[in-house]
Amino acid sequence: MTMRPKKMAAKFMISASTIRNYEAKGLIPPAERSSNGYRIYTDQHAAYLSCIQAIAPAFGMEVTAEVLRCIHQDKPQDAMWIIREKEVALYEEKEKLERLIQDIRIYANENKSPYPEGPFTINEASELTQVPKSAIRYWEHAGYVIADRDPHNCYRRYSESHLLTIRLIQMLQSSVYSEDTVNFKRSIASVEHKELQEVMNIAENVRTYLDKIIESQMCGISCLHQLIQFTIRSK
């Protein structure tokens, strides 16, 4: 099967310029050319485009580009290891989230904090959450977490609930950028950090989101396997 750019673009509901951009960046093989110089796309290009649309939502466009360049360079094992690394990272994030939800639940229901008694300086908050001070300051500027202020010197002071919220924001920073992650951050910004039940609700919604991402990853991996098999058969 061969297709002109417009027809291929319509098949995947993207623009012809997007396909040309993928080609220029090495995400898909170079197009064949007709006798009059027009691009001609084939089943091989369709397989690559299907893979892009399956992998990108789960792994992000940067990882997708890296993986497809490996396939294009006949390095399928490298592509699979890149994907496996991201799968493991998602699992580790899920484990962190489960610990965070448990910490929030215990603190909200039993008033038992996973941290020493506060308040904490920004240095202490950074050490306890393993989040850089620069990130905490940036999130405060963005309105995601607003520190209390010492009445005597106006230095930032963070409570135990602040630290739990910081950990939740850090979870979202590690996720693939999406409309969902943007909405989660907006929800965090709209909630007072002391409203632990609301913070826990957001964390549980993030857990549901991660469940969707792992399913999306499985779909992407399946499509990647199909592309690898296609390239093997085409040799």
Is the pLDDT reported for residue 192 higher than 90? no
- Assign a CATH topology to domain 2-73: Multidrug-efflux Transporter Regulator; Chain: A; Domain 2 (1.10.1660)
What is residue 191's predicted lDDT score, i.e. its pLDDT? 86
Q: Span 150-178, mean pLDDT?
A: 89
What CA–CA distance (Å, rounded) separates 122 from 52? Answer: 41
Is the pLDDT reported for residue 235 higher than 80? no
Domain 2-73 shares a fold with domain 83-215? yes
Question: Which tokens is 26 given?
Answer: 């090495």
Is the pLDDT reported for residue 98 higher than 80? yes
Q: What is the mean pLDDT of the chain?
A: 91
- Nearest Cα residue to 48 out of 88, 78, 18: 18
So where are the chain's domains? Answer: 2-73, 83-215
83-215 — its CATH code? Answer: 1.10.1660.10
H, E, C per residue of the chain:
CEECHHHHHHHCCCCHHHHHHHHHCCCCCCCEECCCCCEEEEHHHHHHHHHHHHHHHHHCHHHHHHHHHHHHCCCHHHHHHHHHHHHHHHHHHHHHHHHHHHHHHHHHHHCCCCCCCCCECHHHHHHHHCCCHHHHHHHHHHCCCCCEECCCCCCEEECHHHHHHHHHHHHHHCCCCCHHHHHHHHHHHHCCCCCHHHHHHHHHHHHHHHHHHHHHHHHHHHHHHHHHHHHHHHC
Q: Span 100-116, mean pLDDT?
A: 91
pLDDT digits (tens, 9 = 90+) for 74-91: 999 999 999 999 999 999
Question: Which tokens is 43 given?
Answer: 């089943």
What CA–CA distance (Å, rounded) separates 22 from 120? Answer: 48
Question: Which tokens is 214 given?
Answer: 């792992």
What CA–CA distance (Å, rounded) separates 138 from 46? Answer: 42
User: Phi and psi (nearest 5°) for 2?
Assistant: -125, 150
pLDDT digits (tens, 9 = 90+) for 111-138: 888 998 889 999 999 999 999 999 999 9
Q: Span 9-17, mean pLDDT?
A: 93
What CA–CA distance (Å, rounded) separates 140 from 228? Answer: 45
* C-beta separation of 175 from 168 below 8 A: no
Q: Span 148-155, mean pLDDT?
A: 87
